[in-house]
A = this chain, B = another copy of it.
Amino acid sequence: MRAAVFHAPQDIRISTVPDPRLIEPTDAIVRITHACICGSDLWFYRGIQKFQPGWRTGHEWMGIVEDVGAEVRTVKKGDRVIAPFAYSDGTCEYCQAGLQTACVHGGGWGGAGDMGGQAEAIRTPYADGTLVAVPESASNDPKLLAALLPLTDVLSTGHHAAVRARVQPGSTVAVIGDGAVGLCGVLAAKRLGAERIIILGHQPARLAIAKQFGATDIVAERGAEAIAHVNDLTNGGAASVMECVGTEDSLDAATQIVRPGAFIGFVGVPHGVKLGLRNIFSKNAWLSGGPAPVRAYIPELMTDVLAGKLDATPVFDLRTNLDGVPDGYAAMDSRQAIKAMIQF
């Protein structure tokens, strides 16, 4: 089969690699029909995250089951399935608690091994604990399938930020970041009933999508001016702050715009961040976040997608195929594209 393979920073190639095959009786083999390039893929693309030549890429994908091991019970050959960005056994303490990203047998796609999601097919460990079957009725509707694709990561991650920031009906929310996750965060906050959604960002095209997704206020200043603007709009801070960037500056800004006693949900991977705790302490605020337990969120979010009430596809401003993956990385790296969707 053909798969995207990392060669060096700024150098992803499509290569022919061995077909995946069942190893464990709990495995499934899935022919991939849709995938994405993630903002977090840019970490290795830019050489910041260590990646070895020959490693596979891609962790956001959907497809059709081609084969299953003898112990797989919940999906069968021919099923249309969505995969979370991490696999999980579905049975451990953490999976049972809905925190599948802490699964004791869990792991991610891409990297060493042969399980990359930017490829024609993939082996899925713990198929029952990992994959979610799409109802038959929706499994051949191109528009609905595209709208389900963001559940694999970006929309579920935006939802996680909203959940951890305790967004609820009537909430005033500040979303830091106008990347794909931040935009999906706006959509997730709106879905949870937020009344006022302030987005902090700088890119007009992205902020236009934020408006379409439900943002009520745009704060386009930077640094101290942006913080003052949010604190002015909210009379002293937002009850929910969704941090969707992951830098020290953006996390520190989150602590400066959160209301006393209120909640910061952070989902941007904090590479090397050391956060001053002065504001969190003086305000008695809450900080929590991490990799979204996508497997826990897919069923609930899928219901709304299938009902036509939830559609994050405007973040896919580049649609390509497997051969277009290298150019998709380049376009996202240079910010010419928000997020690339790959169709097979």
Contact = CB atoms under 8 A, between A and B. Distances in A.
29 contacts: A94-B260, A97-B261, A99-B260, A99-B261, A99-B284, A101-B284, A102-B260, A102-B284, A251-B277, A266-B281, A269-B281, A270-B278, A270-B281, A273-B276, A274-B277, A275-B275, A275-B277, A280-B288, A280-B289, A280-B290, A281-B289, A282-B291, A283-B290, A284-B290, A284-B291, A285-B290, A286-B286, A286-B287, A287-B288
A179 interface: no
A270 B255 CA distance: 14
Contacts of A129: none
A290 B258 CA distance: 14
A273 B101 CA distance: 28
Closest 5 CB pairs of A and B: A284-B290, A102-B260, A274-B274, A286-B288, A270-B277
A158 B330 CA distance: 52
What's the number of copies of this chain in the assembled complex? 2
A11 to B, nearest CB: 28
Given A101-B284, A281-B291, 15 more contacts: A97-B261, A99-B261, A270-B277, A273-B277, A274-B275, A281-B289, A281-B290, A284-B288, A284-B290, A284-B291, A284-B293, A285-B288, A286-B286, A286-B287, A287-B288
Contacts of A282: 290-291
Interface of A: 94, 97, 99, 101-102, 251, 260-261, 266, 269-270, 272-278, 280-291, 293
Tell me what chain A mostly uses at the interface: helix, strand, loop, or mixed.
mixed
A288 B291 CA distance: 19
Contacts of A290: 280-285
A291 B285 CA distance: 11
A232 to B, nearest CB: 16
A164 to B, nearest CB: 8
A265 to B, nearest CB: 10
A94 B261 CA distance: 8
B280 A284 contact: no
A179 B313 CA distance: 54
Given A285-B290, A286-B286, A276 B278 contact: no
A94 B235 CA distance: 13
A165 B7 CA distance: 45
B277 A276 contact: no
A156 to B, nearest CB: 13
A257 to B, nearest CB: 15
Contacts of A291: 281-282, 284
